Amino acid sequence: MKGIENLYLIMQTKIKPMKLIKYMIIIALYLSTGPVIFSQTTSDKSDAQRDWEHLDYMKNFFCKAPEGCREYDNLSMLEAMRYIDRLYTTRSKLAEAFLEKYPNDPHHDQALVLFFSSYFTPKFIPDSLAPEKIEAIASLAIRGQSGAWSKAYRLIPVDREAEKRWLDKGKDYVDQILASNASVEVKAKAEILLFNRDYSLAKNKYTCLSKDPMEQDFWASMEANYFEFVPLRLERLMDAYPDSETVATFIQAMLDDLRKLSSGLANSYLDRFLRKSGDTNPMANRKGITALRKSLLANIEALGALEVDADKPLEFTFTAMDGSQVDLAEMRGKVVLINFWSTTCPSGIAVMPRLKTLYDKYRDHGFEIIGIADDGDVAKDQVLKILEKANANWPQRLDKGREASVKLHALYGIKTLPTFWLLDTKGVVVDQGVKMPQLESKIIKYLE
């Protein structure tokens, strides 16, 4: 119990500004997790295994349902921000403690991934805030107010000393791996974790900014300067690990993610890496660089297809999860619904039964559905369970799977899930944002 008691004491020293009922929410968070670990005191379970189970449990824990979650809903913006900060700080401390205590444990690598993940990254909110800051944040609502969270995080100061300690600790972990006799692939993955941490921090700050569409020239210049570290560090990764397909896949994933923020910037970096991986590079024939170039060329080809006249048919092919080949060109003559969804989007899962009803009703009349899941191979079983529960028997693509050289969600700039694209019988996209209430009438219209 000592570990949980220590966390309890840490929390006690930090929540004085909160009301008693809110204080009890935070305490309940820790007390509620105790039985998950400490009720399992059988001699056949080691301390390391119990600590790992607790850490693994905490990665998904947010509040104790239903009481704690209802109380969270009633928090003010500042109280909610502090709640999240303390939760993420606790997760981070648990991961750090596990890494320090069990350096040779089989779960060590998983714990390292958790330490670097966004849900284990503290917000570093200072204990005391200036009255004017408190007043400004108090005017913001945690829901129903557009841009409120972004503004709140722009207003809140950061405990730079605590942030530096956390950043240095992560760098130390990676440096230890690089100095060890670990395999090249393990070292590459460690450096990827460090880069991804720094990129995520920069991205989170960037997305808190308010952009005026009329200011596009300013933002194009600002983005080029702000994200310049991205291609520089990715190039160093490519040069350091020229045979790593993991690094190649990661570089492409970063370009895909950047496309959601700035298509212009992503295109310039794509061209940059295409040149970097070309014949003038003495390592161009190395396994990882070859894989990267192949992926880049596939994305350029797909981008070229996007620039075709909007009145021309949409074209792409892929291997579905069941191994079948899907080619939009072969679906000419049918009305096709492309469903962009994800296992992390409850609303996208919730509409599956309704889509199944429409599919069964109109399939024999020339209606088809294609599912594009914004998930990778690790989520394959979860995707299959969701599809099986809904009896969804149309083709599905894992958009982040090994077989997907082009990520369609990123390529097409899909930012909201689920998103439905409707194609007419000529294969032309006639609606890029059709909503469920209007979907059936649209299907009927284009089938006629």
The answer to whether residues 246 and 105 belong to one domain is no
The more confident residue out of 291 and 375 is 291
259-292 pLDDT, tens digit each: 888 888 998 999 999 999 998 899 999 999 999 9
Looking at the structure, tell me whether residues 139 and 190 fall in a common domain: no
pTM of this prediction? 0.72
119 and 17 share a domain?
A: yes
Give me the pLDDT at residue 317, please: 87
Q: Between these two residues, 66 and 436, which has the higher pLDDT value? A: 436
331, 435: one domain: yes
> Do 340 and 300 fall within a single domain?
no
Distances (CA, A) of 313 to 20, 126, 330, 331, 407: 61, 55, 11, 11, 19
End of a domain among 262, 280, 307? 307
Rg for the chain, CA atoms, rounded:
25
- How many separate domains does the chain show? 3
Q: Is the bond preceding residue 346 a cis peptide, omega within 30 degrees?
A: no
Q: What percent of the chain has pLDDT over 70?
A: 88
Higher pLDDT, 234 or 410: 234
CA 285 vs. chain centroid, Å, equals 32
Residues 228 and 51: their CA atoms lie apart, in Å, by 40
Instruction: Using the 3D structure, point to which of 273, 288, 307 is the last residue of a domain.
Output: 307
- Confidence (pLDDT) at 10: 37
Position 36 scores a pLDDT of 38
| Confidence at residue 305, expressed as pLDDT on a 0 to 100 scale | 63
Pair 138, 188 in one domain: no
Q: Mark whether 426 and 357 lie in a shared domain.
A: yes
> Which residues are CB-neighbours of 8 under 8 A, at least 6 positions away?
27, 30, 31
Average pLDDT rounded to a whole number, residues 115-132: 96
Q: So what's the pLDDT on residue 43?
A: 46
CB 67 within 8 A of CB 141: no
Give residue-wise pLDDT tens across range 180-206: 999 999 999 999 999 999 999 999 999
Residue 44 is predicted with a pLDDT of 54
First-to-last alpha carbon distance for the chain, in angstroms, is: 68
* Residues 13 and 150 occupy one common structural domain: yes
Same-domain check for residues 279 and 340: no
- Is residue 375, in this structure, part of any structural domain at all? yes
Q: The domain containing residue 143 runs over which residues?
A: 1-172
Yes or no: say if 356 and 389 are a contact pair by the CB < 8 Å rule: no
- Of the two residues 228 and 70, the one the predictor is more confident about is 228
SS3 373: strand
> Stretch 137-143: mean pLDDT, rounded?
92
330 in the same domain as 297: no
Query: Which residue blocks in 208-286 are alpha helix, DSSP H?
Result: 216-226, 229-240, 245-261, 263-276
| pLDDT-derived band at 78, boundaries 50, 70, 90 | very high
d(CA 350, CA 321): 21
- Shared domain for 300 and 264, answered yes or no, is yes
Higher pLDDT, 308 or 240: 240
For residues 329-346, give the mean pLDDT. Answer: 93
Look at residues 307, 335, 351 and tell me which one is the last residue of a structural domain: 307
Residue 312 domain-assigned (yes or no): no
Residues 264 and 405 in one domain: no
Mean pLDDT score, 79-95: 96
